[in-house]
Amino acid sequence: EDQVTQSPEALRLQEGESSSLNCSYTVSGLRGLFWYRQDPGKGPEFLFTLYSAGEEKEKERLKATLTKKESFLHITAPKPEDSATYLCAVQAGGSARQLTFGSGTQLTVLP
């Protein structure tokens, strides 16, 4: 059974204080790992897809990295508008290519 564990559950940072969110996973044949951002009262919004260990993707202050067992979402010099819940999901190979989501990390960036 595919599993995704995100840590920490919640993280409070001061504006400009860089940090990382963790997503550990077990999956039979990783097809892709996905990061989404969810703001209160909204649906998740796609951020990145990572396909193989060693791959990195960047977008503004965010950088996602992938190893064979986990992914990190690095946030450099965050701003209050980066406050959101960040969700990680994995997609296995095979015929049933559902996404398995983690519970998310709720990030709060204080001004």
Partner 1 sequence: ETGVTQTPRHLVMGMTNKKSLKCEQHLGHNAMYWYKQSAKKPLELMFVYSLEERVENNSVPSRFSPECPNSSHLFLHLHTLQPEDSALYLCASSRDRTGGKQYFGPGTRLTVT
Residues that bind partner 1 (CB under 8 A): 4, 9, 31-32, 34, 36, 41-46, 49, 87, 89, 91, 96-104
CB 81 to partner 1: min, Å: 19
Q: Which of 87, 73, 92 is nearest to 32 (CA)?
A: 92
CB 42 to partner 1: min, Å: 5
Q: Which of 62, 58, 52, 59 is nearest to 90 (CA)?
A: 52
Closest to partner 1 by CB, 79 vs 97, is 97
C-alpha–C-alpha distance, residues 70 and 41, integer Å: 28
Closest to partner 1 by CB, 96 vs 111, is 96
In this structure, which amino acid lies at residue 19? S
Is residue 16 within 8 Å of residue 77, measured between CB atoms?
yes
Closest to partner 1 by CB, 87 vs 109, is 87
